[in-house]
């Protein structure tokens, strides 16, 4: 294929623009601001799940405490009633013995309930502190998430502007390249990922390979309008001044 050397050099500009667009697309895929946002969102989910578990535990403790307090009230009421019967007299010796036995049992039961109640109260305080801590952590993360989303959105907007500008610049550059040369360039992009490369000295910038002397000599002797391809990677090679 023959093509004006100026048109061939335009392919290098086109390749540079394609690399720039590829780099912008790669940055979009590995956007640091998105990574920061993803990490904070994961932390926020973990805090929410921890807080939910703590709240469920707190509700379970509240139910257990309510039952203990109810049982304790019943034991105290029964002790007071038995003590009043015993103190009031009018009961047989056998009834008095049974009341005294029951009062001792109730005293032990009351002591056990009060100890269990104190323990559960302590556990509830600890769990409630966890709930409050989770709430504070969630509030802090919400602020940080808002900042991270803003930073991500700004970075994406900047990227979109850069992509739009580079795409428009590429379109203008492509309009100046003859259709048959542009089609060859496009086929190379589809096949090798690179449409054109510079031949600097003996090295093809497309595959970073040093070409053999015979090939370099043949390229040097070729007419300026001859479209050359690299024997290693197959892309169009545009001769630089050093070539």
In order of their start, the domains of the chain are 5-24+178-239 (no CATH), 31-167 (1.10.287)
How far is residue 143 CA from its own chain's centroid? 17
pLDDT at 241: 62
Give yes or no for a contact between 58 and 124, defined as CB atoms under 8 angstroms apart: yes
Q: pLDDT at position 180, please?
A: 95
Nearest to 55, CA basis, from 132, 147, 158:
132
**Mean pLDDT for the chain overall:** 93
| Region of poorest pLDDT, from 54-63, 101-110, 158-167, 189-198 | 189-198
Count of CB atoms within 10 A of residue 6's CB?
Answer: 10
CB 87 within 8 A of CB 25: no
Is the pLDDT reported for residue 146 higher than 90? Answer: yes
* pLDDT for residue 33 is more than 70: yes
**What pTM was computed for the model?**
0.70
**pLDDT at res. 9:** 92
Residue 88: per-residue pLDDT = 87
The pLDDT value recorded for residue 43 is: 97
Once rounded to an integer, what is the mean pLDDT over residues 28-55?
Answer: 95
3-class secondary-structure state, position 230 = coil
Residue 194 — φ and ψ, nearest 5°? Answer: -130, 135
Average pLDDT on 22-30 reads 93
Confidence of residue 188 (pLDDT cuts 50, 70, 90): very high
Q: What is the structure's pLDDT at 243?
A: 46
Interval 88-129: pLDDT, tens: 888 889 999 999 999 999 999 999 999 999 999 999 999 999
- Averaged over 8-34, what is the pLDDT? 94
Longest dimension (CA), the chain: 134
pLDDT tens across 153-177, in order? 999 999 999 999 999 999 999 999 9
- The structure tokens 């589809």 sit at 190
């Amino acid at each position: 294929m023959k093509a004006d050397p100026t048109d061939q050099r335009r392919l290098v500009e086109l390749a540079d623009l394609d690399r720039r667009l590829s780099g912008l697309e790669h940055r979009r895929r590995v956007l640091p601001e998105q990574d920061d946002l993803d990490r904070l969102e994961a932390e926020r989910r973990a805090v929410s799940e921890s807080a939910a578990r703590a709240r469920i535990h707190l509700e379970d403790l509240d139910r257990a405490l309510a039952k203990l307090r109810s049982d304790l009230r019943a034991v105290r009421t029964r002790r007071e009633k038995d003590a009043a019967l015993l103190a009031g007299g009018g009961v047989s010796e056998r009834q008095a013995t049974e009341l005294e036995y029951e009062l001792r049992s109730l005293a032990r039961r009351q002591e056990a309930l009060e100890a269990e109640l104190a323990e559960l109260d302590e556990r509830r305080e600890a769990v409630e502190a966890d709930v409050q801590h989770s709430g504070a952590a969630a509030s802090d993360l919400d602020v940080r998430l808002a900042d991270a989303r803003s930073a991500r959105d700004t970075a994406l907007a900047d990227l979109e502007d850069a992509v739009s500008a580079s795409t428009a610049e590429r379109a203008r550059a492509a309009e100046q390249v003859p259709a048959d040369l542009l089609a060859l360039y496009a086929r190379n992009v589809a096949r090798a990922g690179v449409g054109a490369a510079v031949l600097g000295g003996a090295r093809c910038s497309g595959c970073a390979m040093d070409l053999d002397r015979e090939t370099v000599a043949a390229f040097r002797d070729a007419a300026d309008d001859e479209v050359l391809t690299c024997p290693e990677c197959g892309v169009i090679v545009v001769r630089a001044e050093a070539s």
